[in-house]
Amino acid sequence: MIYNGNYNEFYKELFNLIDEKYKDETQFERHRKIINVPREEIIGLKIPPMKKIAQEIAKNNWKNFLNEKRNNTYEEKLIRGLVIGYVKEDYNNLEKYIEEFFKNDVDNWAICDSAISNLKIIKKNRKEYFKLITGYMDSHNPWEVRVLLVSLLNYYIDHEYIYELIEICKKVKNEHYYVKMALAWLISIMFIKKREETLKFLQEEKYNLDTWTYNKALQKITESFRVTKEDKDLIRSMKIKTSKI
């Protein structure tokens, strides 16, 4: 299915692609709970057909599509993010669309994580993109903060950026569940990829993190098959004990 300039037709066609699995109420509700989206905002499509649609749009009139006034479904939002990731265009010409997408469409973890993992243009434009996302560090919008953290864990855990990532981990202060989970996830991957620097951070700067996030990061490290038994034992010994009420 290709967007041909008529958004209403495009929107109606999405309903013809509903996965048979999600026509079952139990499966649909399970899907809804996993992605944490209100029922009325879900059509019921799986990721592969959405990627195929986005690839076709990215080859054609993608600008018109991104400028369309749209409805408010999870699938529409995700397709928009995927389109941006598939477009063959200079980063400078895409940044405004990336910003608009983060501001207007990223409102749950699934859209955030799926779209960012598809933004391969970041790999060749890391400095420009880093400047954009670090502006979200103190945002009142928790999804913009998650955009920052998920972007970092996908594209910036290396010798060039590791110390900047550590500073960001110390500075992010947000009580939103999906921000704290993303921060814990980021730290766990930092440990896997840059063990020495991250271990030192966890040992010396742990009180720059709230206890829940710190312990969750340790848990995620110990759950990884890429961490040795010896390191898992070490990490378990570092857990901060909390009183149970």
Task: Note the pLDDT tens digit of each residue in 38-93.
Answer: 999 999 999 999 999 999 999 988 999 999 988 889 999 999 999 999 999 999 99
Proportion of the chain above pLDDT 90, given as a percent? 92
Q: What percent of the chain has pLDDT over 70?
A: 98
Spatial separation of the C-alpha atoms in residues 153 and 219, rounded to whole Å: 17
* Residue bearing the bigger pLDDT, 207 or 138: 138
pTM score, whole prediction? 0.94
Name which residue leads in pLDDT, 207 or 211. 211
Contact 122, 151 (CB under 8 A): yes
What is the per-residue burial (b if ≥16 Cβ within 10 Å, else e) of 158-187?
Answer: eeebbeebbebbeebebeeebbbbbbbbbb
- Mean pLDDT value across residues 120-131: 97
- The whole-chain average pLDDT of the chain stands at 95
pLDDT of residue 71: 87
pLDDT of residue 1: 63
Q: How confident is the model at residue 243, as a pLDDT?
A: 66
| Distance in angstroms (rounded) separating the CA atoms of residues 236 and 198 | 15
Residue 156: what pLDDT? Answer: 98
How is the chain split into domains, by residue range?
Answer: 1-122, 125-245
pLDDT (tens digit per residue) in 140-174: 999 999 999 999 999 999 999 999 999 999 999 99
How high is the pLDDT of residue 206?
A: 85
What's the pLDDT tens digit per position in 28-50?
999 999 999 999 999 999 999 99
User: Higher model confidence: residue 134 or residue 243?
Assistant: 134
Query: Would you say residue 107 has pLDDT above 90?
Result: yes
Q: 224 phi and psi, to 5 degrees?
A: -80, 135
Mean pLDDT computed over 211-215: 96
Q: How far apart are CA 198 and CA 180, in angstroms?
A: 17
Task: Tell me: pLDDT of 245 over 60.
Answer: no
Q: Is the pLDDT of residue 183 over 60?
A: yes
Tokens (6 digits) for 23:
């026509």
